[in-house]
Amino acid sequence: MKEALFEVIDRLGGELTALSDDIFDHPEVGYEEYRASGLLCDLLEREGFAVERGIAGIPTAFRAVYENGVGGPSMGLLCEYDALEGIGHACGHHTQGPCAVGAALAVKETVKDQPYRLVIYGTPAEETVGGKIQMKERGCFQDIDVALMMHPSPTTTTDVKCMAMATYQVTFHGISAHAAMSPESGRSALDAVMLAAHGIECLREHVKEDTRLHYTIKDAGGPSNVVPAAAKAEFCMRSYNTDYLYGVMERVKKIIAGAAMMTETQYEIAEDPFFMAKIPDLTLNRILMENAALVEAPTIRPPREKTGSTDFGNVMYDVPGSCIRMAFVPEGTSSHSREYLEAGKSRTAHRSVLLGAKILAASCLDMICDAGLLEQVKGDFKETKEQMGRENH
């Protein structure tokens, strides 16, 4: 049956890669991906999927569903399609939608005698505000048993972790004064920023090794001969454990409050969307990698040792999930780079779309046809999440 899946994807190959190239040629940044989401929705509607556009209050987000029979597992396929501002598709998101659609169409055309549901979620703005976060808060992803993705990469692999991330936009308010004539009348907002930054430096010694703390001054408040009445800074915190990061966030808030107290200033904190750490599902990773070996995917490697943050972590905090990373650039190449961009319409990029679709389709087939395997995936997820919670305490 997997050979039948692969034949469908090969037959659709020209259409899928042309769609990938079209999205690449018309890059759209987060929440402006009208062309990309529209092309994907149009294709899914033509193929008999029930498509909802503009879900979760986001015009460029969508949900497409196909049901075969009654009951059975609900397989989620997620895709991104936003570009990077100023450079375009230098992260490869243009390949994800065609890959997910190819996988879904292969399962729909091939698997007729088993009940299942396919749910494709179009998820905008991963590069900026993390569209999946808003989508999850508004009820998305609750209708799927597993969440699967593909992402272009220098190697073919899966991840076993990503970093939770919290970001504070902080504004301190002081009192302006002439720095030479009457400095005693002023209360420096910049002093508060600098003291908060020093507090962050002191905190580094007293957090776990995987914790990252970084910051920048976004507005120092003006010229040096004026005590600044306002200053702005950004403070970012990361950890591979979501629960642990919550504690770090509270400590950083105390540092900010202390800096304001020491300088007799006031402060405001605006929190950016919170990115959760992935709950890795090793069983699901194994299924994906076994199918990667089956299709002879290039540059198969163990999971990455270092990862950043992604809004897919928020989905994977509640639903068993995994992303197959498909090699399409030389090993060691950095994402968000000119090399990624130049390879965007290459033969290897086209191959990653089709091989990724085959891996996702075959993995869906494994779990549709083997209920015990899906239960193992769910059990692995529950056990790992509980373990990560215990590690925090």
Residue 306 pLDDT class (50, 70, 90 cuts)? confident
Average pLDDT over residues 82-86: 97
- Pair 213, 236: CB distance under 8 Å: yes
* Residue labelled with tokens 């039948």: 4
- Pair 357, 99: CB distance under 8 Å: yes
The angle formed by the CA atoms of residues 228, 231 and 233, to the nearest 5 degrees, is: 155
Evaluate if pTM is beyond 0.85: yes
- Pair 87, 341: CB distance under 8 Å: yes
Residue 389 pLDDT class (50, 70, 90 cuts)? confident
Mean pLDDT score of the chain? 96
Residue 200 pLDDT class (50, 70, 90 cuts)? very high
Distance CA 90, CA 312 (A): 19
For residue range 231-267, what is the model confidence (pLDDT) as tens digits? 999 999 999 999 999 999 999 999 999 999 999 999 9
Write down the pLDDT at residue 392.
Answer: 64
Task: With CA atoms as reference, report the closest residue to 118 among 71, 67, 70, 78.
Answer: 67
- Structure token digits, residue 286: 């194994």
362, pLDDT greater than 60: yes
Q: SS3 for 111? A: coil
Write down the pLDDT at residue 18.
Answer: 98
Distance CA 135, CA 121 (A): 10
Residue 24: exposed, middle, or buried by beta-carbon count in 10 A (0-12, 13-18, 19+)? buried
34, pLDDT greater than 70: yes
Distance CA 273, CA 252 (A): 17
Write down the pLDDT at residue 305.
Answer: 80
Write down the pLDDT at residue 393.
Answer: 57
